[in-house]
Amino acid sequence: EIVLTQSPGTLSLSPGERATLSCRASQRVNFSYLAWYQQKPGQAPRLLIYGASNRATGIPDRFSGSGSGTDFTLTINRLEPEDFAMYYCQQYGSSRTFGQGTKVEIK
Amino acid sequence: QITLKESGPTVVKLTQTLTLTCTFSGFSLSTSGVGVGWIRQPPGKALEWLAIIYWDDDKRYSPSVESRLTITKDSSKDQVVLTMTNMDPVDTATYYCAYTRAAAPVRPFDPWGQGTLVTVSS
């Protein structure tokens, strides 16, 4: 089973700043089948990125994903107030697993 | 438009079996490549994938709970059912179902249902 490790656990930033979130896999993720989700309290997760770098429908272009193999990054440029939330990575190339999440909080 | 909705008991007792139903619309689980998965999230904790069933009745389970899970589908009713045996308070969580694809094209979970909170009482 592929284990995903997200870092940092918490990111304290101000609106307008850039957020850089990391997701490291214990094994190579097949075909870069790596997704990123945003989750706000009381809500279901929302797909942001799939295939490591493809934005899902309706996702603003300040969200971008990159990486391959075992190292992946989600970047949020110019944080908006609505971007402060939990973020999870998930691989779907070999069964399915989620990372433990990164909380982006207001500094 | 694809939608999914989970239903089932809000409270189950220690050692009981949990049965959850995912009722969906906007797609057919008879279509090649399509799948429905279950994911749970204990309060304040991370997401945990549980199981997936595909259009061809292929089933995959998380190794950590595989012995306790059964996933089935009723394509005529547009439903997927998850059963989990021997429930324990640590299984208290919000349970989600979600649409996915295994082929043409491969896609992660999207969209998700609203989730249903299940509490296990001792």
pLDDT by residue (tens digit) across A37-62?
999 999 999 999 999 999 999 999 99
* Separation of alpha carbons B38 and B14, rounded Å: 21
Residue with tokens 């689980």: B29
Instruction: Supply φ then ψ for residue A46, to 5 degrees.
Output: -120, 125
A47·B111 Cβ contact <8 A: yes
Tokens of A60: 């603003």
Spell out which residues of chain A touch residue B106, defining contact as CB-CB under 8 Å.
31, 33, 92
Q: Flag whether residue B33 sits within 8 Å of chain A, measured between CB atoms.
A: no
CB within 8 Å: B47 and A95: no
Asked if residues A33 and A92 have their Cβ atoms less than 8 Å apart, the reply is yes
Burial of B65 from C-beta contacts in 10 A (0-12 / 13-18 / 19+): middle
Q: From B4, which residue of chain A is nearest by alpha-carbon distance? A: A44
**Partners of residue A99 in chain B, C-beta under 8 Å:** 46
B70 token code pair: 């059964």
Residue B105 has pLDDT above 90, yes or no: no
Burial A46-60 (b: 16+ CB within 10 A, else e): bbbbbbbbebbeebe
Q: What is the pLDDT of residue B103?
A: 84
Residue percentage of chain B with pLDDT more than 90: 93
The β-bridge relationship of strands A86-91 and B18-25 is unpaired
Q: Which residue is closest to A86 within chain B, CA to CA?
A: B46
Parallel, antiparallel or unpaired: strands A102-106 and A10-13 = parallel
B21-68 residue pLDDT tens: 999 999 999 999 999 999 999 999 999 999 999 999 999 999 999 999
Question: At CB < 8 A and 24+ separation, what contacts does A67-71 make?
Answer: A67/A23, A67/A32, A67/A34, A68/A29, A68/A32, A69/A25, A69/A28, A69/A29, A70/A24, A70/A25, A70/A26, A70/A27, A70/A28, A70/A29, A71/A22, A71/A23, A71/A24, A71/A25
- The reply to whether residue A47 touches residue B63, judged by beta carbons under 8 angstroms, is no
Q: What is the pLDDT of residue B68?
A: 97
Say if B108 is an interface residue toward chain A (CB within 8 Å). yes
pLDDT < 70 stretches in chain A: none
Nearest-Cα distance to chain A for B109, in Å, is 8
- How many residues are there in chain A? 107
Given CB atoms, is B27 within the 8 Å cutoff of chain A?
Answer: no
Whether residue A8 contacts residue A89, with contact meaning beta carbons closer than 8 Å, is answered with no
Is B100 in the A-facing interface, judged by CB distances under 8 Å? yes
Contact A19, A82 (CB under 8 A): no
**Which chain B residues are closer than 8 Å to A94 by Cβ?**
none
Which of B109, B114, B116, B117 has the most A C-beta neighbours within 10 Å, making it the best mutation to test the interface with A? B109
Contacts of B49 (CB under 8 A, 6+ apart): A90, A95, A96, A97, A98, B37, B38, B39, B62
Residue A41 near chain B (CB below 8 Å): no
| Rounded Cα–Cα distance for residues B79 and B38 (Å) | 12
